Amino acid sequence: MNGMKTAMLLAALTALFMGLGFMFGGTGGAMIALLVAAGMNLFTFWNADKIVLRMHQAREVDERSAPDFYRMVAQLAQRANLPMPKVYIVESPNPNAFATGRNPENAAVAATTGLLDMLSRDEVEAVMAHELGHVRNRDTLIMTMVATIAGAISMLANFGLFFGQGSSRNPVAAIAAMFMAPFAAMIVQMAISRTREYGADRAAAEISGNPQALATALAKIARPAQKIPSIASERNPAAAQLYIVPTSVSELFSTHPATEKRIAALQAMSGTPGPSPARRSALDPNRSR
């Protein structure tokens, strides 16, 4: 099923790429865009995880450099019947985590120093179980390719506005492309993302055996993730859909369900009563304030 979603995603983003090429260069521009998109899709399939990790300046760790964290991920991977992923730490105060890689055999998981400092061991374990849930559910290929290709479309739209020949012939179309291409790419993301997060939450509850720990982790990091800047997602807003909770740059085009709904679902799994309405309002970063 995820293979079909990936193919549809690539087709949609390639069509956007060709549309921009046609807008800025006519038929010739569309053909050039098609060739560029084909090459980019192939390159991204094999290298998107490296691009994402480089984008975050992630540092690979092992049992010597981060023994507790590395062993935690190893134990979770064993429980999930997954190959051992590569493990990374991102030097960032924004409390977040993500998974990347084209398949479970080539997966990587990463956590920020902000998340490791903010959460208890059980909560970190639950968060990393969520990321391994994405790996097990084979979400990471879609997530990683969207982060790179949607970012490329945004850059092309801006480049075409300021430098393309089409901008001088049709400035209205060029301005529309600048705003609509990134927006359309985000629409594609939103179509595939929200159920994906619920699925990873359920997998985390199964892998860690502690849905309540994930619920408390989400409650702790949701608001700080909105307030503390994430340099990587500010540079490429499409990267924000990788994270376990959305950052401020992704609020307009949120790819995640409301945090309060995720917490309520986890509370139901653990048999713990959900938060009060006032508490739910405080926890939900997607609720208008």
Residues classed as catalytic: 131
The SS3 of residue 280 is: helix
Q: Please enumerate in sequence order all residues whose Cβ is within 8 A of that of 73, keeping only pairs 6 or more positions apart, or say none.
A: 84, 85, 87, 109, 128, 132
d(CA 15, CA 21): 10
Structure tokens at 66: 């981060």
- Provide the 10 A C-beta neighbour count for residue 128: 28
CB-based contact 255:195 (threshold 8 Å): no
> How far is residue 185's CA from residue 169's CA, in Å, rounded to a whole number?
25
Q: Is 276 helix (H, G, I), strand (E, B) or coil?
A: coil
Q: Where are the alpha helices (DSSP H) in the chain?
A: 2-55, 67-79, 113-118, 121-136, 140-163, 165-169, 171-208, 211-227, 231-235, 259-270, 277-283
